[in-house]
Amino acid sequence: MLTDIKNKIAQKLSPHLDVGDEELASLLEIPKNFQHGDLALPIFFLAKKLRKAPPQIAIEISEKVNALDLPEIESVNALSGFVNFKLKWSFMADNLISAMQDPLKIGFSKKGVGKTLVIDFSSPNVAKRMTVGHLRATVIGQSIYNLAKSQSYKVIGLNHLGDWGTQFGKLAWAMDNWGSDYSLDSDPMRALTEMYVRFHDEAEKNPELEKQGAAYFRRLEAGDENVVQLWKKIVELSMADYNRLWKLLGVKHDLVLGESFYNDQLKPTEKLLEDKNLLEESEGAMVVKLGDDKPPCLIRKTDGASLYATRDIASAIYRHDVLKADLNLYVTGQEQTLHFQQVFEVLKKMGFDWAESCHHISFGLYRFKDIGKMSTRKGNVIHLEDVLNRAIDTIQKVIDQKNPELVDRKKIAEQVGVGAVIFNDLLNDRTKNVEFDWDRALSFEGDSGPYVQYVVVRCKSILRKYNRNLPNKFDVELESPEERELMLKLLSLDEVLVQSFKGFKPHILANYLLDVCRVYNQFYHKCRILDQEESLANARAKLVEATEVILIQGLKILNIQSPEFM
- Where on the chain is the footprint of ligand ARG (CB under 6 A)? 120, 123-125, 160, 162, 312, 315, 330, 332
Integer Cα distance of 306 and 354 in angstroms: 24
What DSSP element (H or E) covers 74?
Answer: strand 73-79
Measured from the CB atom, the residue of 160 and 505 that comes closer to ligand ARG is 160
Q: Write down the least CB distance from residue 510 to ligand ARG, Å.
A: 24
The CA-based angle 133-420-487, given to 5 degrees, is 120
Q: Write down the least CB distance from residue 354 to ligand ARG, Å.
A: 16
Q: Write down the least CB distance from residue 223 to ligand ARG, Å.
A: 23
Measured from the CB atom, the residue of 222 and 240 that comes closer to ligand ARG is 240
* CA distance from start to end of the chain: 30
Helix H segments across 443-505? 449-466, 481-491, 493-502
Pairing state of beta strands 154-159 and 255-256?
A: parallel
Measured from the CB atom, the residue of 224 and 345 that comes closer to ligand ARG is 345
CB 234 within 8 A of CB 126: yes
Hey, how many other C-beta atoms are within 10 angstroms of the C-beta on 513? Answer: 28
Measured from the CB atom, the residue of 361 and 516 that comes closer to ligand ARG is 361
Q: Residue 34 is which amino acid?
A: F
What DSSP element (H or E) covers 285?
Answer: strand 285-288
The backbone torsions φ and ψ at residue 81, rounded to the nearest 5 degrees and listed phi first, read -90, 20
Q: Write down the least CB distance from residue 152 to ligand ARG, Å.
A: 25
Measured from the CB atom, the residue of 108 and 366 that comes closer to ligand ARG is 366
Measured from the CB atom, the residue of 257 and 558 that comes closer to ligand ARG is 257
Integer Cα distance of 469 and 435 in angstroms: 45
Measured from the CB atom, the residue of 131 and 424 that comes closer to ligand ARG is 131
Q: Write down the least CB distance from residue 428 to ligand ARG, Å.
A: 20
Q: Write down the least CB distance from residue 323 to ligand ARG, Å.
A: 13
Three-state SS for 488? helix
Strand partners, 157: 119
Measured from the CB atom, the residue of 189 and 457 that comes closer to ligand ARG is 189
Measured from the CB atom, the residue of 107 and 258 that comes closer to ligand ARG is 258
Q: Which own/partner pairs from 16-19 qualify as long-range (CB within 8 Å, at least 24 positions apart)?
A: 16/64, 16/65, 16/68, 17/46, 17/61, 17/64, 18/49, 19/46
Integer Cα distance of 102 and 112 in angstroms: 19
Q: Write down the least CB distance from residue 163 to ligand ARG, Å.
A: 9
Measured from the CB atom, the residue of 125 and 532 that comes closer to ligand ARG is 125
Hey, how many other C-beta atoms are within 10 angstroms of the C-beta on 168? Answer: 28
Strand partners, 77: 84
For the stretch 83-98, what's the b/e string if a residue is b when 16 or more beta carbons lie within 10 angstroms of its beta carbon?
bbbebbbebbbebbee
Q: Write down the least CB distance from residue 160 to ligand ARG, Å.
A: 4
Q: Write down the least CB distance from residue 316 to ligand ARG, Å.
A: 8
Residues 6+ apart with CB under 8 A from 104: 553
Burial of 368 (0-12, 13-18, 19+ CB in 10 A): middle
Q: Write down the least CB distance from residue 255 to ligand ARG, Å.
A: 13
DSSP string computed for 288-339: E---TTSPPEEEE-TTS-B-HHHHHHHHHHHHHHTS--SEEEEE--GGGHHH
Measured from the CB atom, the residue of 124 and 169 that comes closer to ligand ARG is 124
Of residues 308, 318, 361, 317, the one with CA closest to residue 339 = 308
Q: Write down the least CB distance from residue 418 to ligand ARG, Å.
A: 21
Measured from the CB atom, the residue of 321 and 515 that comes closer to ligand ARG is 321
Q: Which residue of the chain is nearest ligand ARG when measured via CB?
A: 162
Q: Distances from the Cα of 399 to the Cαs of 243, 250, 413, in angstroms?
A: 27, 22, 7
Q: Write down the least CB distance from residue 331 to ligand ARG, Å.
A: 8
Q: Write down the least CB distance from residue 62 to ligand ARG, Å.
A: 54
Measured from the CB atom, the residue of 85 and 330 that comes closer to ligand ARG is 330
